[in-house]
Amino acid sequence: MPVLRRGDVALFESKAIATYVDRVFPAPFVLPSDPKLLTLAEQWVSLVNTLVDRTIVRTYLFAYIAPGTPDGTPNRAAIEAVMPALQQQVAVLDKAVAATGHLVGDSFTFADINLMPLLHRLKIPPEGAAALAAAKRLSAYYTHHAERPSFVRPEPPAGAPRRGN
């Protein structure tokens, strides 16, 4: 869970932290100042945090990492059951980024920041990788934004010890 501590401010949850950082520090801003674009960003954040996260992370990826099967192998029944919803949501996201390469307007916003880690994990198992690759515009969106220094830098090098290990 992300946490921010700064002076007498202690926050948890990505959205609250992003809002604070956006209001306290100078540009670049990740929350649009235009009310229409701001509400569209909020809409995408909400959709990703409720529906898309539940499909991609809490159902599809958990079928791999916490399968609940007697032998610990991926839960194929759960994977097959969630694939239609996963493919439908990937198609919606593919269409959403088609015009500008962003979820909202023509700039990188918190809506994009919020989606990128889910796409990063989606591409690891084979069905997710295939679904993302088939969504050409979403795949290009991911590839482009995954090159951002702020996205590359937090990923530890392969084989690096992780905190708590």
pLDDT recorded at residue 162: 57
Q: Could you give the CA distance from residue 110 to residue 22 in angstroms, rounded to a whole number?
A: 10
Residue of 18, 78, 31 lying closest to 54 (CA atoms): 78
Q: Within 13 A of 6's CA, how many CA atoms are on the CB side?
A: 8
- Please state whether 105 falls in left (phi above 0), alpha (psi between -120 and 50) or beta: left
pLDDT recorded at residue 31: 95
Query: Taking the model in full, what pTM does it have?
Result: 0.87
Q: How many CB atoms lie within 10 A of CB 138?
A: 24
Yes or no: say if 133 and 141 are a contact pair by the CB < 8 Å rule. no
Is pLDDT of 163 > 80? no
Per residue in 55-69, pLDDT (tens digit) is 999 999 999 999 999
CATH architecture of 35-152: Up-down Bundle (1.20)
pLDDT recorded at residue 165: 45
Per residue in 27-60, pLDDT (tens digit) is 888 999 999 999 999 999 999 999 999 999 999 9
